[in-house]
Each structure stands twice: as C-alpha cells, then as structure tokens.
Structure 1
Amino acid sequence: MSEIVELFLFLEPGANPDEDRVVQNFGESESLLVWVPDGTAAAKVAAEEVARGVRLMELYRGFDLESAAQVIDAVDGRAAVGVAGFGFGIATARPIRDSATIFVGHPSADPAVHRVTRAHAGGGRTTAVAAPDSAAAAAVALELVGHGAELIEICGGASLLAARDVRAAVGDRVAVSLVSWPVDSIERAAAFKADFDAAH
C-alpha cells in the first residue's frame, strides 16, 4: 500500500468523519478525503492524520476563518494547510449544495477513474475529480457544471493558470476558487511540491 500524504477536508453539516471518508489511490501515493460537520471535527481529523504522517491538507466546501484556524491550531505547524478562498464571507450567505473539487497535476490521474461523488444526507453532493493537466481540468469542470455543480474548487497543487483555464471554460455560470496557502504554510507546501515533483 502506498503512503497517505495528502488530506482533503470537506465541510458538510451532518457528516460523520469516521464513515464519510474515501482513499484515492494514484499508485505512487494515496490521498484521503474526509467530510466533516464543523471546524472542531476537522481539527480532530487533521491532528490524527498529521500524527499518521500526512504532510499537506486542503480545506473545501465553505471553511471560514474560524473553522480554518481551528485546523491550523490543531496541526501546529506540522503540515501545510491550504484553504479554498470561496468560504471567506460567502458561504454563510447561501449553503453550498453541489460542489466540485478538481485536483490538477497528478500525471497518472484519469478523470474517469479518479472520481468520487458523495451524496449528502441533507441533499446536495460533492464530486472530487483528479485531472492530469489544465485542459483536462477545464473539460471536467464543464461536464460537472452541466450536471449541476454550483461551485468549482481547484486544488492548491494547481497553478493559477490552471484555475484561469477552468474559469474561462465555465464562464460566469459558477464560482471558481483556487486554494491559497497562508504564509505559515508556504514553506511546508513548497517542500511538499518539491518532493512530489521529484517522485513523478
């Protein structure tokens, strides 16, 4: 079994993080996706997974400053923590029902295979898809918007240019965000990327 080094947390009221989790296997590494009901649960999962060796995590589906800070406090500098920008001040205005997260840059990613769709008990869903490059990410985004996605979140491993290409593909139909790295996570995120690039 390959090593889990990435954790992706998705905020969803009513989620059970002990059950609402999926491992995506890319051969050379595995990524753990976990749905959490709030910042407290997210902080607990983050601390547990860092203790198991996770080096990088990203927060999706409406984490605000308070819930993101809970995760950062729990991690205590042991891993990089990135946050999808959509959550700041917007998520409280309208619940996120149907979101899509696109992980861009795994060379071995196949969007037809590396795809997880999770329906939520309260309605709505999250779709997480890995794409090898910007063009594939744009095509996936168009497909998902056509199937009802209201929000597209681009992973922190993607360049701003990939997010731009996705935005150009979907136009103004939905919000598109790109994970950002707070200054206290930049060095760890850069080290993670260097190791990832060296392994691929």
Structure 2
Amino acid sequence: MTESFDEAFLFLHPAADPAADRIVHEHGGARTLLAWAPDAPAAARLAAELADRGVRLIELYRGFGLPEAALVIEAVGGRAPVGVASSALGATRPDARSWATVYTDDEAAADGVHVVREHRDGSRTTVVGAPEATMPAVVAALVRSGVEVVEICGGTPLTTAARVAAATGGDAVVGLVSWPFESIEDAAAFKAAFEARTR
C-alpha cells in the first residue's frame, strides 16, 4: 500500500482480505480508508502500516473486542489515536448480519451518503455520513431496512448518539466510539483540524 489517508475505519470480518476488501472514501476534504481484516493480527499489521504512512486517526468497528483492539493499539504505538466502538465493551449482537457505521457529515444530503460493502457470506456493512441534525432519522431508516448494529463515529457528540439510539426504538444495538485516555489529546487535535478545513 503506497497511498496515504487522513483516517481509517477498520472492521473485522472472517473472510476478509485487507488488500482487496477496502474502499477509499473522500468526504469533507479528507481521505478515509474503510478496510476489512479477517482477524486482529491482520488488522494490527494494517494499522501499523497506516501509522507508518502518517494516518492521523484510526477507529475500530464491527467485531473488535478489547483483546483485538489492544493488539491494534500496541501495533500503532502511539503514532495515531485509536478509538474503539463500544462493541468492544459488549454492546453488540454476535449473530448480526447487517451493521452500520455512521459519522457526522454536515455537507451531506439530509438522507446521508451511503457506502455499502456486501460480504461474501451475505452479510453487509453500511457506512453513512449524515448531517448531525438528521442522523436519528437516517439511522431509523437503516434499522427499518434491516440494520441490527449501529456504531457511531467518535467525532459525534454523545447527546446526538443518545438521540440516534432513541430513534431506533430498541430494534438495534447502538454504540459510540470511545477514546482511551492515551488517545484523547490526539483525537481532539484531529477533530479541530478537520473542522478548520471544513469551515
């Protein structure tokens, strides 16, 4: 991999190939790598490579428990902040077939910008950028379409995440990316720089 990215969203999926199961998503002036790895060691290798190439932020979604997240954090070695979706803390459905990751994009249309990855086993990951004001309605529509787990980007306020959770009516597990103490300052710096670029 020779490309560089501002941020990366990493997902676990047993049959994934991180060299092939990836999408480059450009939004708000940033380049985000969406990449799926089959297990934590593969995700850790990918994260280390991304850190070597200057990625400024990594968020872990779909399938990362605390041991898997710890491998990634150790591989990155403080070179980029690493946030972990609350599925790492048990807020998930192990048998879920349809997952969504949602991030704030106030420049997106009200119904959001959807990137869908269909996996070989028939499961699906949907990544959606939506304005903060419409995020609850966007997520409610995702849940009506069959999404079972919703993981919200770490740049989203907790109060917005609470409104999103309420909008699902309890029909999906909803989690928010959390930042370990050692990542807080760098994550805040990334957020400030991102907001400065998009103003």
The two structures have a TM-score, normalised by structure 2, of: 0.92
Q: What is the one-letter code of the residue matched to 1:132? A: P
Secondary structure of the corresponding residue to residue 180 of structure 1: coil
The Cα shift of 1:57 comes to: 0.7
Cα offset, 1:143, TM superposition = 1.1
1:169: Cα distance to partner? 0.9
Please state how far the C-alpha of 1:110 moved relative to its aligned partner: 3.5
2:4, 2:187 → 1: CA distance? 17
Q: 1:149 aligns with which of 135, 147, 152?
A: 147
CA contact (8 A) 1:3 1:29 kept: no
Which residue in the other structure is 2:45 paired with?
44
> Within 1, Cα distance between the matches of 2:141 and 2:174?
14
Contact between 2:11 and 2:35, CA under 8 Å: does it hold in 1? yes
Give the match for residue 184 of structure 1.
Answer: 182
Runs of 4+ in 1 over 6 A off after TM superposition: none
Equivalent residues of 1:10, 1:59 under 8 A apart: yes
Structure 2: where are the runs of 5+ without partners?
none
C-alpha contact 1:81 1:181 (8 A) present in aligned 2:
yes
Q: Structure 2: how far apart are the matches of 1:24 and 1:59?
A: 16
CA distance in 2, matches of 1:151, 1:94: 10
Q: Please give the alpha-carbon distance, in whole angstroms, between the structure 1 residues aligned to 2:78 and 2:44.
A: 13
CA distance in 1, matches of 2:195, 2:135: 19
Tell me the residue number matched to 2:76.
Answer: 75
**Paired amino acid for 1:55:** R
How far the C-alpha of 1:153 sits from its partner, in A, is 0.6
Change (3 A) 1:45 1:11: same
Partner of 1:94: 94
CA distance in 2, matches of 1:101, 1:90: 14
Gaps of 5+ in 1: none
Partner-residue secondary structure (3-state), 1:22: strand
Which residue of 2 is the match for residue 65 of structure 1? Answer: 66
Question: What is the root-mean-square deviation of aligned Cα atoms in Å?
Answer: 1.8
Amino acid of the structure 2 residue aligned with 1:100: A
Identical amino acids, percent of aligned pairs: 50
Displacement of 1:53:
1.6
- AA of the residue aligned to 1:54: V
Check 1:141–1:90 CA distance in 2 against 1; reply closer, same or farther (3 A cut): closer
Q: CA deviation at 1:88?
A: 2.6
| CA offsets 1:96-136 (integer angstroms, 9 cap, x no match) | 321011011x3323466732111111221000000121x32
TM-score by length of 1: 0.91
Deviation string for 1:30-69 (max 9, x for gaps)? 1110011111111111111111121101000120111101
1:198 offset after TM fit, Å?
A: 1.5
Counterparts of 1:59 and 1:169, CA distance in 2: 24
Q: Distance in 2 between matches of 1:73 and 1:86?
A: 19
Query: Which residue number corresponds to residue 124 of structure 1?
Result: 123
